[in-house]
Amino acid sequence: MNIFKGRTNRAWFGLLLGLVIVLIGAINTFSDTPSSIGEIVLIILAVPRLHDIGKSGWFVLIGVAAEIVGIVLMLFFSLEQMRGIVALTSLVLLGLMIWLGFIPGEPGPNQWGEAPEPGLTRKGVTHPDM
């Protein structure tokens, strides 16, 4: 199964995004070291959603670039200022993900597959056991 194929509708994306945010928050609350797995999961969520709105999954690199810029900026600032930069970068990425969930998908088929059905469905992904 290729997780970067197909299209994801807004309902499915919103549900998964909410679950990921809650899980990342719980992990970061109860762990001494923050987890970076959330960023990978967010990329995996964003690519099919970008396909649904007719954009290439490579647009996800905008968020990755924002994070890299935040990391580079942290090299030049004090610990207190770094916390602010991390918080700002996180808010920008969260804002981009939420914004992605509000954009309506293309109504018909596009180069990434058929339009997903309304509700909690994900169309255009082939499952090997089906």
CA 100 to chain centre: 8
What is the DSSP-derived secondary structure letter of residue 118?
A: S
Distance CA 23, CA 12 (A): 17
**For residue 27, what are the domain limits?**
7-123
pTM higher than the cut 0.75:
yes
Residue 1: inside a domain = no
Residue 81: inside a domain = yes
Residue 129: inside a domain = no
Helix pair 37-52, 61-74: axis angle to 10 deg:
150
Helix pair 79-102, 61-74: axis angle to 10 deg:
170
Residue 21: inside a domain = yes
Residue 130: inside a domain = no
Domain count, the chain: 1
Residue 2: inside a domain = no
Distance CA 14, CA 16 (A): 6
Residue 128: inside a domain = no
Residue 34: inside a domain = yes
Per-residue pLDDT tens listing for the chain (130 residues): 466 778 888 888 899 889 988 888 888 788 777 666 777 888 888 999 999 998 988 888 887 887 788 778 778 877 777 778 777 877 888 888 889 989 998 888 888 888 888 777 555 444 344 3
Cross-strand pairs, 34: none
